[in-house]
C-alpha cells in the first residue's frame, strides 16, 4: 500500500509547511498518532483522506500519489523533448512537451522510454511527393499490434492512432519532421530518425 502515498513525502511536505504532526492531524480531523504512523510507515492514510491531506500539504493529489513535486520552471517548450504516456488499462495515449506527472484510470503513468528499431520492429519510410509514407511490417492482430505512429517535429507532434486488424501505416507532411515514434502494445516504444 505504500505505493499510493509515502510516509517520507508526507513528513517532508508537512515540515516544509512548518506544521507539527498535531497541527496537520487537526486540519484533516485525525489523531496526531495517525500522522506519526503514516510518516514512519506503520500505517497509511485512508483513501478518503487523500484529498484533504493533499490540500493541507499544499500539493495536488497526483503529486502526493507520485511522491514527486511538479515544479513549473517556466521554460519554453522544445517539442523534441516530447514525452508520451500510454495507459495499460484503456490504451489512452497522452503527449506532453516534457516530463510530467500523468494519471489515467487511477494510476500514475511512467513516461515511455524509446528504443531504436530492432529486427522485429523495423520502420520503413518512403518519400511520396511532399509526404513521408511510414510503414511497420508488423502483425496487427487483436493481441499484438502497433498502436500508433507519430512524427515529431520541432514545432509539434502529429500522432496517428492505429487499430488491430488494420495496416501499420501512416502519412505525414515532410516539413520539419525530426524523427518518428511508434508503439508496439507488447514491446513498447521505438524511435527512428527521419531520412
Q: What is the pLDDT along the chain (195 residues), one digit of tens a residue?
A: 344 567 888 888 899 889 999 999 999 999 989 999 888 888 888 888 888 898 898 887 777 776 655 554 445 555 567 788 999 888 889 988 777 888 888 888 888 999 999 999 999 999 999 999 999 999 999 999 999 999 998 888 899 999 999 999 999 999 889 999 999 999 999 999 999
- Bridge partner list, 131: 128, 173
User: Model-level pTM?
Assistant: 0.62
Instruction: Number of helices (H) and strands (E) in the chain: give both, helices first.
Output: 5, 11
Burial 105-114 (b: 16+ CB within 10 A, else e): eeebbebbeb
- CATH code of the domain made up of 79-193: 2.60.40.730
Which CATH homologous superfamily contains domain 7-66? lambda repressor-like DNA-binding domains (1.10.260.40)
Domain ranges of the chain: 7-66, 79-193
The pLDDT score that the predictor gives to residue 4 is 57
Write the DSSP symbol of residue 80.
G
CA within 13 Å, CB half, 18: 0
Amino acid at each position: 500500500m505504500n505505493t499510493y502515498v509515502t510516509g517520507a513525502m508526507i513528513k517532508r511536505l508537512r515540515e516544509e509547511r512548518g506544521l507539527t504532526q498535531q497541527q496537520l492531524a487537526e486540519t484533516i480531523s485525525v489523531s496526531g498518532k495517525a500522522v506519526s504512523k503514516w510518516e514512519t510507515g506503520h500505517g497509511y492514510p485512508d483513501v478518503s483522506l487523500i484529498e484533504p491531506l493533499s490540500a493541507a500539504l499544499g500539493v495536488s493529489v497526483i503529486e502526493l500519489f507520485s511522491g514527486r513535486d511538479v515544479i513549473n520552471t517556466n521554460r519554453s517548450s522544445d517539442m523534441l523533448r516530447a514525452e508520451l504516456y500510454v495507459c495499460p488499462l484503456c490504451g489512452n495515449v497522452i503527449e506532453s512537451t516534457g516530463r510530467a506527472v500523468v494519471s489515467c484510470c487511477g494510476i500514475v503513468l511512467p513516461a515511455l522510454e524509446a528504443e531504436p528499431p530492432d529486427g522485429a520492429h523495423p520502420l520503413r519510410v518512403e518519400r511520396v511527393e511532399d509526404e513521408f509514407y511510414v510503414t511497420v511490417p508488423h502483425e496487427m492482430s487483436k493481441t499484438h499490434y502497433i498502436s500508433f505512429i507519430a512524427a515529431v517535429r520541432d514545432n509539434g507532434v502529429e500522432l496517428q492512432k492505429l487499430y488491430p486488424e488494420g495496416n501499420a501505416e501512416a502519412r505525414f507532411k515532410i516539413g520539419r519532421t525530426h524523427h518518428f515514434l511508434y508503439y508496439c502494445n507488447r514491446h513498447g516504444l521505438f524511435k527512428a530518425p527521419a531520412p
